[in-house]
Amino acid sequence: MRRYDIEIGYLCQSRKFCWIGYRLYDIGCDSGFGCATAKRLDSLGFEVFATVLDTNSEGAQDLLRTCSSRLTLLQVDITQPQQVQQALMDTRAKLGLRGLWGLVNNAGVCVHFGDSELSLVSNFRGCMEVNFFGTLSVTQSFLPLLRRAKGRIVTISSPAGDLPFPCLSAYGSSKAALNLFMNTLRHELTQWGVNVSTVLPAAFKTGQSSNQAYWEQQHKNLLQSLSPSLLEEYGEDYLSETKDLFQSHARTANPDLSPVVNTIVEALLTPSLSRATTPGPGWDSCTSSTATAPSASATSSSRNCSCRRS
- 208-266 pLDDT tens trace: 666 777 778 888 888 888 999 999 999 988 888 888 888 787 787 888 889 999 988 88
CA distance 301 to 151: 35
* Domain-embedded: residue 250: no
Q: Residue 141 sits in a domain of what CATH number?
A: 3.40.50.720
Q: How far is 35 from 147, CA to CA, in rounded Å?
A: 26
Residues of the chain with pLDDT under 50: 1-21, 279-310
Please tell me the total count of domains within the chain: 1
Give 288: exposed, middle or buried? Use CB within 10 Å, 0-12, 13-18, 19+: exposed
Asked if residues 42 and 69 have their Cβ atoms less than 8 Å apart, the reply is no
Catalytic residue set: 171
The verdict on residue 263 lying in a domain is yes
287 within a domain of the structure (yes/no): yes
Residues 6+ apart with CB under 8 A from 247: 212, 215
Q: Measured between alpha carbons, how far is residue 51 from residues 29, 169, 262, 292 in Å?
A: 6, 29, 20, 39
Nearest to 164 by CA among 310, 305, 271: 305
**Cα angle vertex 98, ends 95, 102, to 5°?**
85
- From 55, 144, 27, 153, select the one nearest 95 (Cα to Cα): 144
In a domain, 89, yes or no: yes
Q: What is the pLDDT of residue 11?
A: 41
Q: Which residues of 222-247 are buried (b: 16+ CB within 10 A; e: fewer)?
A: beebbeeeeeeebeeeebebbbebbe
What does the alpha-carbon distance between residue 118 and residue 229 come to, in Å, rounded to a whole number? Answer: 11
The predicted structure's pLDDT at residue 25: 57
Residue 73 lies in a domain: yes
* Strands 23-27, 47-52: pairing kind: parallel
What is the model's pLDDT at position 172?
94
User: Maximum distance among all alpha carbons in the chain?
Assistant: 64
Q: Residue 182: name the closest of 199, 165, 170 by CA.
A: 199
Instruction: Say which residues have a Cβ less than 8 Å from residue 69's Cβ, sequence separation at least 6.
Output: none
- Determine, yes or no, domain membership for 57: yes
Q: Kindly give the residue spans of alpha helices, DSSP state H, lying in 109-235.
A: 121-128, 135-149, 169-188, 212-225, 228-234
293 in any annotated domain: yes
Domain holding 261, by residue range, is 23-209+255-304
CA 77 and chain centroid, separation:
14
CB burial of 8-33 (b: ≥16 within 10 Å; e: otherwise) equals bbbbbbeeeeeeeebbbbbbbbbbbb
Rg (CA), the chain: 19
CB neighbour list of residue 78: distance below 8 Å, 6 or more residues apart: 6, 8, 27, 28, 84, 107, 130, 134, 135, 137, 138
**Are 204 and 261 spatial neighbours (Cβ–Cβ below 8 Å)?**
no
> Quick check: is 249 in a domain?
no
